[in-house]
Structure 1
Amino acid sequence: MHDSDRVMENADAVLRRVSEGNRARIARRRARRRSRLGATSKRLALVTVALLLLMIGAGMVTPIGIGGAMLFALAAAIAWALVIFGSVEPEARVADLAAPDIARLPARTESWLEQQRPALPAPAITLVDAIGLKLDTLAPQLATLDPATPAAADLRKLIGEELPELIAGYRRVPTALRTGAARSGLNPDRQLLDGLAVVDEELARMAERIADGDLHRLATQGRFLELKYRGEGG
């Protein structure tokens, strides 16, 4: 079977999971929004309480009058505006995908991929959703993964360099030429699908390698405890 045929079969399999993947993507996006909203609400409450206490304290020293009340109201409006403005999620950048904090890689990557969706064909969007789902599944492992390990470096290279370059290369091709045949015999849409499928498959292999490492460490620790305590008991 030709490699491109195999890739298309994989893409078809992913297409059959589109509803599940899309629901999961929406759920993750809503969860991030709820988290940001909750954090913003807490900061607004703290700022409001601090300003009220300051106003009460100032009023106990000397009457603040209408002018003072207006000044505090202005200060509150400015403080609230700063809190709200500072809570807006910044636009994801490619540089964020290769940052040292690998635990935040899934959320950063999904935010960046969300921005690329309008420029991608429908099958590619399905694969992008599958990649986001795999990264989300990897999140608990990445939270404890040493950022200096080869696995972390490989993941940063795949997600922080190769995936953005693949999508950027596709977007550089004029829209009218994306579905036409190229010299290699593959059109840009197919090349994009091939590349995204490879990324999706490689993420699955990386998850297995990281899990194998965790299982090996667990087995080693279990063997150590067995030798230490049961050995001494014997």
Structure 2
Amino acid sequence: MADSTHDTSRIMDGARTSLAVNRTGGYHRGSIGAGSARLKKEHAAAKLKRIFIAIATIVVAAMGFGLFVSALGFEGLFITVLLAVVAVWVLSRYPKIKAPKAATLSRGDLQQNVAKTELWLEHQRPALPAPAVTLVDQIGVQLDGLGVQLQGLDENTPAAVSVRNLVTRDLPEVVSSYTKIPRHLRSQESAGSTPDSQVTESLKSISREIDTVTRQLAEGDLDALAVRTRYLDYKYGSAMDETPALPPPGAPDPALPPVSPAPKALGETDSLTPEYSPKEN
């Protein structure tokens, strides 16, 4: 009876987890980050290239057969089209993109490390509880932000080594330690906590650490932005607050240069000045 009760509880826990995941969009909701999305696009582009090469090969072979061997006829044309359709169907389905192995995540530069870790995490989502799936999606966004800060970072600096260890070692170890546990034991309480809760809390810690590292790497940019803001406020802010009032109507505009009177023509007299005539002797 105890075993039956335990099985019922486990089934109900699994049902609640499945319901929560489906409410949030299911396990297959696309890429968790820009890095994994880029790897998928590259894989799709390689597939498309192979399809074009296969179709071109079939067409050239059919044309060569028709020119140098024998006319294709209806049957030959049908076989050519059939081969092209089969090639498109097979090459569009295979090879499927594979999740990188955890042992290979540290290979390549930091940008590749981040992208491969995102792709690896996507393939681990079906094995994680619903709260952990939400955290994985959040970590994917954080890894995108981290990747931006890694641009131009020297690979041999202590900061780069720390980031690589965090992304390619610590994060995968947390998830792998959980997925190695049999499914029926993941919701059982042990030492005051369940594996489901433990992996969720561990992913929260990883998320906070990624955010901290990203902020530390961005401190230089943040400081530069603050200095620039103070400079602009000093240069333009005070001047805008002390805008002079407009001059009254009819008054000369102080922003314009003074207008000098036009020179008088030779023999021209001022109409307001009485004309001088010498007295006759």
- Are 2:103 and 1:95 aligned? yes
Gaps of 5+ in 1: 1-17, 219-234
Percent identity between the aligned chains? 33
Q: Specify the alignment match of 1:169 in structure 2.
A: 177
Q: Specify the alignment match of 1:115 in structure 2.
A: 123
Counterpart among 179, 193, 210 of residue 217 in structure 2: 210
SS in 2 for 1:98: coil
- Check conservation: 2:32, 2:137, Cα contact below 8 A: no
**2:33 & 2:216 partners in 1: Cα distance?**
27
**TM-score scaled to structure 2, two decimals?**
0.53
> Greater share of helix residues, 1 or 2?
1
**TM-score scaled to structure 1, two decimals?**
0.62
> What per-residue deviation string (whole Å, max 9, x for no partner) do you get for residues 138-193 of structure 1?
2333344333332222122112222222122223334444344433x333223212
Q: Specify the alignment match of 2:205 in structure 1.
A: 198
- Are 2:146 and 1:138 aligned? yes
Question: Equivalences for 1:26-41 in 2 at 5 Å?
Answer: 33-41=40-48
**1:179 & 1:191 partners in 2: Cα distance?**
10
**1:38 & 1:174 partners in 2: Cα distance?**
38
SS in 2 for 1:154: helix
Amino acid at match of 1:116: Q
**1:101 & 1:125 partners in 2: Cα distance?**
27
Question: Equivalences for 1:49-88 in 2 at 5 Å?
Answer: 49=56, 52-53=59-60, 62-63=68-69, 84=92, 88=96
- Check conservation: 1:180, 1:187, Cα contact below 8 A: yes
- Are 2:158 and 1:150 aligned? yes
Residues 179 and 42 of structure 1, relative CA distance in 2, 3 Å threshold: closer
Residues 46 and 196 of structure 1, relative CA distance in 2, 3 Å threshold: same
Shift of 1:127: 1.1
**1:204 & 1:27 partners in 2: Cα distance?**
15
**1:87 & 1:144 partners in 2: Cα distance?**
34
- Check conservation: 2:32, 2:140, Cα contact below 8 A: no
RMSD over equivalenced CA pairs, Å: 4.1
- Larger RCO, structures 1/2 (Cα 8 Å, 6+ apart): 1
Gaps of 5+ in 2: 1-23, 226-281
Amino acid at match of 1:122: A
Shift of 1:137: 2.3
Shift of 1:115: 1.9
Q: Specify the alignment match of 1:5 in structure 2.
A: none
Q: Specify the alignment match of 1:3 in structure 2.
A: none
